[in-house]
Amino acid sequence: MSEFRAAGVRPVAISVDAPAISRDLAKRAGYTFTILSDPDATVIRQYHLLHVGGGPEGHDIARPAEFLIDRTKTVRWDNFTEDVRVRARADDMLAAASRLR
């Protein structure tokens, strides 16, 4: 997290999970970044990231994606994948952030 802060990046996750579920996950996994809850997938839909029926028991989930958004709310970098097991690596995001500075 200190490297992200030094790069001027504030990690935030958005999930369809209820806040209590996200808090439990963060605690178990040791996450210290903010996890926002979007149970109706309002924001997730705005970014065209809803994976209908992609979760356990056919629940809708968010497709994996990472964004770097600047202070003017402009998306400056993104990374999309169709596989929920694949995410951008922290060093990839940090490198992208340093190129944008």
| CATH T-level topology, domain 2-100 | Glutaredoxin (3.40.30)
| Alpha helix (H) residue ranges in 1-101 | 2-6, 19-29, 42-46, 90-100
Whether 81 has a pLDDT exceeding 80, the answer reads: no
- Rounded to an integer, what distance in angstroms lies between the CA atom of residue 90 and that of residue 75? 18
Domain ranges across the chain: 2-100
Mean pLDDT of the chain: 87
pTM (predicted TM-score): 0.74
For the residues 89-100, what does the mean pLDDT come to? 86
Concatenating the DSSP letter of every residue in 6-24 gives HTT---EEEESS-HHHHHH
